[in-house]
Amino acid sequence: MKIIYIKILLLLLLMDNYDNKDWHDNDSNILFNELKQDSYSIKNIALKLNKSEECIEFNINNILNQLINIYEIDINIITNIIKISKDEIELRTYKKTNNGKKWTRNDIEVLFDELKKESYSIKNIALKLKRKETAIQIKINMILDELLNVYCIDVDVIYKIINLPKNEILCITNITNSESSKPTKENKNKLNNNEITILCSELRKRNSISNIAIILNHSELVIKNKIINILDQLINIYKINIDIITENINITKEEINNYLYPDNNIIITNSINVDPIILNEDQQKILNVFKNKKNIFITGPAGTGKSITIKKIIEYCINTNINYGVTATTGAAALLINGRTIHSYLGIGISNKTPKELFNHVRYKFPHIMKKIRNLEVLIIDEISMMSSEFFDNISKYLSICRTNILPFGNIQIVLTGDFCQLESVSGDYCFNSESWTKLKLEIIYLSKMIRQNNDKNFQKILRELRYGICSDKTYDILSKCINTTFTNIKPTILYPKNIDVDKINNDEYIKLINDGSINKQYPIIYSTDNNKTIIEQTKKWIKSLDIPETINLCIDAQVVITTNITPILVNGTRGKVIELFTDKIIIELINGELIPIHYYKSIYTENTNLFFWYMPLKLAYALTIHKSQGMTLDAIEIDIGNNIFASGQAYTAISRAKDLKNIKITALSKNSFIIKDQVIDFYSQIDPKLKIN
């Protein structure tokens, strides 16, 4: 201990090498003695030595840095000699500090809580937050400047919130005000301080959001999000009483609640936890089987609640900390369950490589994907009917190699959903004929209750027939009457069996409206304002895999379809006509004449909530391919079920998009169009107890 004492003293005596202009021989002894006191003060030491506080700080930091980083003396030994705490030493020597790091929400909450205390200390706050005292003071200055000069909160209000004299508050904010008024780089998704001041001023005048958006040349979405951000900051971080806010910003309590509570927010959050999911008996059975760690195949007719059951399984995985992957064979299906395409999720892309080649490619190019696969416990694959047996076997072998486990899919628990009576794989055999399918020993559960067509029992009976390729004379007569179906306000979406250019059809209809003088507007994807480039890049890759356009163009009177499930009524496939266009929402008229606002929709990646984006969940819907319509519930369709049908399951998939017969127009009809392959019939004859072939 004596040796350490001598080393410290020697270092102090040598301090004149760093500040020899002002440092005298006796100064080192005084400094050392002061640091041995139980409660030392930099200010008092500076006064005693007649030096600046910066000079004292510099010398103390330099001593500690040499002792720890050069002489490698243990911190605990130093704390026994001089009365500097371990936390302070770590802060001064840049060990375990937050210096230079972005301030978190929690940091600001801690800072504000400390400022409310009767006798707070900048030094103690710095130690608690592991930041420099200068950084703490700068942050305090910035907050006070924001409250007083940006949000225009009265100084008397600020004085009541934090324990600072009024004159000091005014002094601080006058100093920082000149800095905050400097011009900032324009950002269409953010408001600078001057714009925020104008925003607060306009709110006090009770000006409308749309008018404020025009004044500031920003979208209504950006304005509303900023208001939410301000209110959240004032109420939840700074803990300012809501009554004070209503007085100062002139926003009512009801309006504040509408802004801050998600149910009344401008953005509808796409989350599996938004609405409670109530399962029927068969769906509950699936969940119970899943909990018993069994591999499952969930199947049944269109509209029987397969996707809802998957969401409940995901919810269970989240609540029990199970590592799971959510995938689908198509981008549209993946978007509905907040997942990725199977190709994107596994990092394999569209490739003809062998499982071994894929493994070597991914482990070197995408090590993070390899790590994810090795930790995976559950893999969900939706729309499995569109996956070939060859690809099914390949991903099973690929996962076995990745996990060094010879069992199918590397012994990951597998959950498959789909209906082999609907669209088949573009090429190859059905995956239920694969080697891996047999080895998985899947528990197959058949969902029979048709939820989509619940209000048309006659239509349900027809669909059960058509699903297995049966079109009786009675059914044919009923469907023939659909040739005369007419629609009043809204044109039906035409479903095409062949791969014609439906985009061209939609675009041609759009151009006609524009040429007739219809007002149009663009709706781009809005990314997180997070400055983390990695997060933004990952989000863009996810969006690319979902096949969502960067921007959609819509105009008044355009026929559109909702592309996601918003409410039990507004679902993927709900049709409408555009009535009015706003920056952040679109008013559409439903087939029943009801006017509904469609807002930007927030999609959050299920497995990583840091990945999210907003998009307008609408698309032009004059025409769709049957392939693109799979999974939708359309309320007005026109279909050709004549000689143009060429693939197994096409006709059934098309007609089962509708909720009822009265909203189907059939332009051509043939009994032979309801194609189903014998092997699919054989497969379901072992599953569906009601399957009877006449």
Shared domain for 161 and 206, answered yes or no, is no
Structure confidence at residue 260 (pLDDT): 64
3-state secondary structure of 187: coil
Sign of the four-CA dihedral 26, 28, 31, 33: negative
Sign of the four-CA dihedral 214, 219, 220, 226: negative
Contact indicator for 588, 595 with CB cutoff of 8 Å: yes
Percent of the chain topping pLDDT 70? 83
Structure confidence at residue 91 (pLDDT): 66
Instruction: Tell me if 454 is assigned to some domain.
Output: no
Long-range contacts of 66-69 (CB under 8 A, 24+ apart): 66/11, 67/7, 67/8, 67/11, 68/93, 68/95, 69/93
Shared domain for 36 and 167, answered yes or no, is no
Confidence class for position 4, pLDDT limits 50, 70, 90: low
3-state secondary structure of 394: helix
**Please, is 609 exposed, middle or buried when counting C-beta atoms within 10 Å of its C-beta (0-12, 13-18, 19+)?**
exposed
Q: For residue 380, what is the enclosing H or E element?
A: strand 378-382
Q: Among the three residues 243, 266, 289, which one is the final residue of a domain in this structure?
A: 266
Instruction: Tell me if 693 is assigned to some domain.
Output: no
pLDDT in tens, 36-78: 777 777 788 888 888 887 777 777 777 777 677 666 677 777 7
Shared domain for 309 and 432, answered yes or no, is yes
Q: Are strands 559-562 and 575-581 parallel, antiparallel or unpaired?
A: antiparallel
pLDDT in tens, 421-445: 988 887 789 999 999 999 999 999 9
Output DSSP code: residue 149.
I
Q: For residue 449, what is the enclosing H or E element?
A: none
d(CA 206, CA 204): 5
Quick one: CA torsion of 196, 200, 201, 203, rounded to 10 degrees? 130
Q: Which of 548, 547, 546 is nearest to 526 (CA)?
A: 548
Structure confidence at residue 242 (pLDDT): 78
Q: How many CA atoms lie within 13 A of 334 on its CB side?
A: 23
CB contact set of 686 (below 8 Å; sequence gap of 6+): none
**Please, is 83 exposed, middle or buried when counting C-beta atoms within 10 Å of its C-beta (0-12, 13-18, 19+)?**
middle
Contact indicator for 333, 453 with CB cutoff of 8 Å: no
Strand positions, DSSP E, 556-673: 559-562, 575-581, 585-589, 595-599, 601-604, 612-615, 618-620, 623-625, 637-641, 664-669
Tell me what the pLDDT averaged over the chain comes to: 80
Percent of the chain topping pLDDT 90? 22
Q: Which of 637, 628, 659, 631 is nearest to 565 (CA)?
A: 631
- Please check the confidence at residue 381 and state whether its pLDDT lies above 90: yes
Q: Among the three residues 57, 92, 127, which one is the final residue of a domain in this structure?
A: 92
d(CA 522, CA 553): 5
Instruction: Tell me if 126 is assigned to some domain.
Output: yes
Distances (CA, A) of 148 to 143, 145, 188, 200, 662: 9, 5, 25, 12, 62
d(CA 452, CA 460): 9
Quick one: CA torsion of 660, 664, 669, 675, rounded to 10 degrees? -50
Instruction: Tell me if 188 is assigned to some domain.
Output: no
Shared domain for 491 and 536, answered yes or no, is yes
List residues bridging with 552 in a β-sheet: 523
Sign of the four-CA dihedral 512, 513, 518, 523: negative
d(CA 634, CA 106): 46
Shared domain for 600 and 525, answered yes or no, is yes
Range of the domain at 66: 2-92
Shared domain for 86 and 137, answered yes or no, is no
Question: If phi over 0 gives left and psi between -120 and 50 gives alpha, with beta otherwise, what is residue 607?
Answer: alpha
- Please check the confidence at residue 462 and state whether its pLDDT lies above 60: yes
For the chain, report the end-to-end CA distance as a whole number of angstroms.
98
Shared domain for 497 and 640, answered yes or no, is yes
Residue type at position 274: V
CB contact set of 188 (below 8 Å; sequence gap of 6+): 218, 219, 222
Instruction: Tell me if 242 is assigned to some domain.
Output: yes
Structure confidence at residue 643 (pLDDT): 83
Shared domain for 479 and 617, answered yes or no, is yes
Instruction: Tell me if 618 is assigned to some domain.
Output: yes
Strand positions, DSSP E, 630-686: 637-641, 664-669
3-state secondary structure of 493: strand
- Please check the confidence at residue 132 and state whether its pLDDT lies above 90: no
Q: Among the three residues 180, 208, 240, which one is the final residue of a domain in this structure?
A: 180
Instruction: Tell me if 10 is assigned to some domain.
Output: yes
Q: For residue 373, what is the enclosing H or E element?
A: helix 367-375
pLDDT in tens, 602-642: 888 766 777 888 899 999 989 988 888 887 888 788 998 88
3-state secondary structure of 658: strand
Identify which of 495-504, 523-532, 589-598 has the greatest average pLDDT: 589-598
Contact indicator for 169, 115 with CB cutoff of 8 Å: no
What value does the mean pLDDT take over residues 288-301?
93
Shared domain for 70 and 153, answered yes or no, is no
What value does the mean pLDDT take over residues 210-228?
80
- Please check the confidence at residue 275 and state whether its pLDDT lies above 70: no
- Please check the confidence at residue 21 and state whether its pLDDT lies above 70: no
d(CA 628, CA 583): 28
Number of domains present in the structure of the chain: 5
Instruction: Tell me if 694 is assigned to some domain.
Output: no
Structure confidence at residue 530 (pLDDT): 62
Rounded to two decimals, the pTM is: 0.57
Biggest CA-to-CA distance, the chain: 112
Question: If phi over 0 gives left and psi between -120 and 50 gives alpha, with beta otherwise, what is residue 322?
Answer: beta
3-state secondary structure of 213: helix
Confidence class for position 338, pLDDT limits 50, 70, 90: confident
Contact indicator for 687, 446 with CB cutoff of 8 Å: yes
* CATH number, domain with residue 295: 3.40.50.300
Shared domain for 489 and 604, answered yes or no, is yes
Question: If phi over 0 gives left and psi between -120 and 50 gives alpha, with beta otherwise, what is residue 130?
Answer: left
Written as six digits, the tokens of 507 are: 């675009």
Shared domain for 550 and 670, answered yes or no, is yes
Shared domain for 296 and 341, answered yes or no, is yes
Confidence class for position 265, pLDDT limits 50, 70, 90: very low
Identify which of 20-34, 186-200, 240-254, 358-372 has the greatest average pLDDT: 358-372
